[in-house]
Structure 1
Amino acid sequence: MMRESKIEIVIADDRPVVLYGLQSWFESHERIRVTACVRNTHQLVARLKSARYDLIVLSGGIEGSCADDFAPLRALRQAFPDTPVIAFTEATDSRTLAHIQRAGAAGLVSTRDEARVFERVCERVLCGAQGVASPRVASYCDEDARADSFDVSPDYRDVRLSVTRFIARV
């Protein structure tokens, strides 16, 4: 099912250069509209309370760390359960990726992915899929989990993490 209206997203990162880069990156695709860019969780929560967004893109700049068990992401999922979160991360470690997923990210995208890959992950998440991962993120997992859990076909059809198998391996 293809959306006719633009996907409205809010981007959160504490680095202005990343916000600008993400906004430029997303707006180069006609199907995505960046309607807000925020630099911290307080600004993000204020935006989410005042307007409705299709997706939250939470970048590594404020997504938390393993030390705090990704508290900002967990808090977002509790406060706004109907708005899916896609983590835009530099993480390559399968354990860290599992922590991000357990904290509530509906999708995982690498900072090294192209915009069309990100758009596909957005579409899958908007269709209700959970645990969606870009092919690059899927490739960061160990060989056995990737062979059993991921489909990295060129059309990115049904690319998603198998939560049970992924977490069991970590």
Structure 2
Amino acid sequence: MSSQTIQIAIADDHPLITEGLQKLLEAAPGMEIAGCFGSGRECLEFLQSSHADILLLDIALPDTSGLDLCRDIRNISPATRILALSNHAERSMILQMLQQGASGYLLKNVAADELIRCIREAHEGLLTFSKAVREIMAKPSATELREMPQLTRREKEILLLIADGKTTTDIAAMLHLSPLTVETHRKNLLQKFGSPNVASMIRLAVQQGLIQA
């Protein structure tokens, strides 16, 4: 076995996908299948005692989420580069996987030559995406396009306290305001953010850097 051979593990609970990937990659020069696993537990057990250069990781395994598994693998096998393989095309999921340490993200409709390119790029230490994912990442989300709301000093104060879990009564006492005034500010904040509820408003405020997560 050449020292240049890329050892690849596959974690996916769909046998047809696993078998297809295995045949494709075994036929590619310089690639070898180290193991195939149908659950996160099996994958972790393998990586605790064996090595894989690249892990093709389905982010929707039956026993764990891809986000949790990615984090666990980064702890037990930091040298393994993880390529998320998914049907989920949401920009937020792609970003979350990258935040957990994935080296790339591919949609399951990826072409064979793209898959091989991405594996080689990840093996070289590059961040890599399939063509469809690059297009998703190139388009700003609705949140990023939305203009940041202009808040008064008082609204910023109240936003921070709401994010801190304070009730209307708490905020009224802390800022020496009437509960009715605080409720009016709360409604104005929801309107400015265009949010249906407080949880959505806080999420937008974090994304726009108005408050810290």
TM-score per shorter chain, which class? 0.7 to 0.9
Deviations 1:31-65 (A, max 9, x none): 32112101112211221122221111111332726
Distance in 2 separating the partners of 1:51 and 1:18: 23
Contact 1:85 1:106 in 2 (8 A): yes
Does structure 2 retain, via aligned residues, the 8 Å contact 1:8–1:32? yes
Q: Return the structure number with greater relative CO, CA threshold 8 A, min gap 6.
A: 1
Measured against aligned partners, the alpha-carbon deviations of 1:124-148 in whole angstroms (never above 9, x if no partner) come to 111112x321222111235359xxx
**1:1-170 correspondence to structure 2 within 5 Å:** 5-62=4-61, 64=65, 70-129=67-126, 131-143=127-139
SS state at 2:94 partner: helix
Structure 1 residue 9: deviation in Å?
0.5
Q: Which has more radius of gyration? A: 2
Distance in 1, Cα, partners of 2:132 & 2:24: 18
Distance 1:31 1:137 in 2: 25
- Asked whether the equivalents of residues 77 and 104 of structure 1 are also in contact (C-alpha less than 8 Å), the reply is yes
2-structure distance, mates of 1:123, 1:21: 19
Aligned partners of 2:19, 2:58: CA distance in 1, in Å? 12
Q: Report the RMSD for the aligned CA atoms in angstroms.
A: 2.3
CA contact (8 A) 1:94 1:142 kept: no
2:211 aligned partner: none
Q: SS at the partner of 2:105?
A: strand
Q: What's the TM-score once normalised by structure 1's chain length?
A: 0.72
Gaps of 5+ in 2: 142-206, 209-213
- The separation in 1 between residues aligned to 2:90 and 2:140, in whole angstroms, is 15
Equivalent residue, structure 1, for 2:172: none
Listed one character per residue, the Cα deviations across residues 69-89 of structure 1 (whole Å, up to 9, x for unaligned) are x11111111221111111111
> Structure 1 vs Structure 2: percent identity of aligned residues?
21
Higher helix share: 2
- Return the offset for 1:25: 2.5
Q: How many residues align?
A: 140
Deviation at 1:15, TM superposition (A): 2.1
Taking the aligned partners of 2:117 and 2:3, their CA distance within structure 1 comes to: 15
> Post-superposition, which runs of at least 4 consecutive aligned residues in structure 1 deviate over 6 A?
none
